[in-house]
Amino acid sequence: MQLKYSLDDLRLFWLVAQAGSFRAAAEQLAMPPSTLSRRINALEQSLGLRLLHRDAHRISLTGTGQQYLARCGPLFHELQDIAGDMQADKQQPVGLIRLTAPANTMHRWLAAALQQFQLMHPKIELDIRLSNWVLDVGEHAIDLAIRVGEPKLQGWIARPLTLVQSVLCASSCQSHWRQITHPAELVDYPLVISNPVRQWRLTHQGSGELFEYRPQGNIRLAVDDLNSAQQAIEAGIGIGYLPQRVVEEQISRGLLLPVAPDWRGPLRHTYLLYRDRDNQPLRLRLLIEHLLAVAPPEY
Q: Give the pLDDT of residue 57.
A: 64
Mean pLDDT across the chain: 88
Q: What is the pLDDT along the chain (299 residues), one digit of tens a residue?
A: 455 667 777 888 888 888 888 888 888 888 898 888 888 888 888 888 888 888 756 788 888 888 878 877 787 777 666 666 666 556 688 889 999 999 889 988 999 999 999 999 999 999 999 988 777 887 778 999 999 888 777 789 999 999 999 999 999 999 899 899 999 999 999 999 998 888 999 999 999 999 999 999 899 999 988 889 999 999 999 999 999 988 999 999 999 999 999 999 999 999 999 987 777 889 999 999 999 999 998 87
Q: Do 284 and 274 meet the contact criterion of CB atoms below 8 Å apart? A: yes
Distance CA 294, CA 111 (A): 12
What are the tens digits of pLDDT across the range 137-172?
877 789 999 998 887 777 899 999 999 999 999 999
Listed in sequence order, the residues at least 6 apart from 108 whose beta carbon sits closer than 8 Å to its beta carbon are 245, 246, 299
List of domains in the chain: 7-91 (1.10.10.10), 95-163+268-294 (3.40.190.10), 166-264 (3.40.190.290)
Tell me the percentage of the chain whose pLDDT exceeds 70.
92
Q: Give the pLDDT of residue 279.
A: 75
Q: Give the pLDDT of residue 1.
A: 43
pTM of the full structure:
0.68
